[in-house]
A = this chain, B = another copy of it.
Amino acid sequence: MSRRLKLTMDDVARAAGVSKQTVSAVINNKSGISEETRDRVRQVIARLDYQPNLLAGSLRAQRSFTIGVVIPSITNPFYPELVRGIEDQAQRDGYSVFLCNTDENQEKEVKYLHLLRRHRIAGLIAATIKVHPAWTEALRRLAAQGVPVIFVPGTYRPGEQVVCISVDDEEGFLTGTSHLLDLGHQRIAMICPPIEPGQQSPRLAGFLRAHFERGRKVLPELIVPGGWHVTDGQAATAQLMQLARTPTAIVAPNDMAAIGAITKLKELGHRVPEDVAVVGYDNIAIAEWYDPPLTTVEQPHYDMGKRAMQAVLERLAKPHEPAEMIKFATTLIVRRSSGGVRGKL
């Protein structure tokens, strides 16, 4: 063994003929080092392939370069696309991403939050749908320690020092539903997302408002409970199609559920969009390639993720700014599943 296993700053310093904190200064781009020395040190670093120990650095500097990211599902493509935005931005800034997938399991959520705190994350980006009571206290502690907390997409809750990045879901569902109304649909169903007791659903609100704004009645039997998954869309659709008077269009809480709706409709022998139109939400990648291509309301997932990471850095730089609410615009993407465009076949 010609070389020691662990390479430290001392080794680099010795090899370059300088002292330890000169090396440190070079690495951290501090001023006060001559260009010549700087170059020499850099070369030695490259030659020895020295990688500074971030554990030690973070411990000493009392700051880490790690962002915790908590998502409820890694299987719903919406979240990977969001994570991609977070991660691209994080890499640009020299941060790493601790990914935590909770599978919508609240116990996991809490366990992960503890784990992230032990890792002394510099910031937390949470895409969790409902906020667990046990989180409230933990989030408060994070905030107290100067760790920015960003919810994306998340709903702003007054009194919490939390940045929220979201789109206006009510607006989004207003747009999607209006699109169907404008196409002349008389019986539009809505598959609802899971609604917490005592909470309101902006998505349902948008659906209702679209009707209201046009002086149209909402048919209560066409509003059915559902969920975020393909299977939820299937179950809800099965229920809808058993009605005496079936809907001519279905609004799903997200694209996954919309896909479920379509599979179930086809299975029951209905054509989409000729017999029943379907509109989704999110615009995940597969929406474009599905058959029929899915009319949906886009959330700019990548940009939202990117913005979330930027928000972390902003809060890190200015810890005492008040919490804010950042809204992105949604975009209606008209494809064939709503019958809004006529494609081939």
Residue ranges of A at the interface with B (Cβ–Cβ < 8 Å): 5-6, 49, 51-56, 58-59, 64, 66, 74-75, 77, 80-81, 83-84, 87, 91, 94, 96-101, 103, 108, 111-112, 114-120, 137-138, 141, 144-145, 230, 259-260, 262-263, 266-267, 269, 285-286, 289-291, 344-345
Contact = CB atoms under 8 A, between A and B. Distances in A.
B87 A119 contact: no
B289 A118 contact: no
A5 B145 CA distance: 7
Most chain B beta-carbon contacts within 10 A, residue among A80, A83, A267: A80
A49 B139 CA distance: 12
A115 B99 contact: no
Contacts of A49: 137-138, 141
Contacts of A75: 77, 80-81, 84, 285
A119 B96 contact: yes
A97 B98 CA distance: 6
A282 to B, nearest CB: 14
A111 B96 CA distance: 11
Contacts of A138: 49
Contacts of A74: 80-81, 83-84, 87
A51 B118 contact: yes
A239 B208 CA distance: 48
A56 B112 CA distance: 19
14 contacts: A6-B145, A51-B117, A51-B118, A53-B59, A54-B118, A55-B58, A74-B80, A74-B84, A77-B80, A97-B98, A259-B286, A266-B345, A269-B344, A290-B291
A269 B289 CA distance: 16
Contacts of A112: 91
Contacts of A54: 118-120
A289 B230 contact: yes
A78 to B, nearest CB: 11
A74 B83 CA distance: 8
Nearest to A1: B144
A55 B64 contact: yes
A84 B64 contact: no
Most chain B beta-carbon contacts within 10 A, residue among A55, A87, A145: A55
B114 A51 contact: yes
A259 B289 contact: yes
A83 B79 CA distance: 13
Given A75-B77, A75-B285, A118-B51, A111 B83 contact: no
Contacts of A77: 75, 77, 80
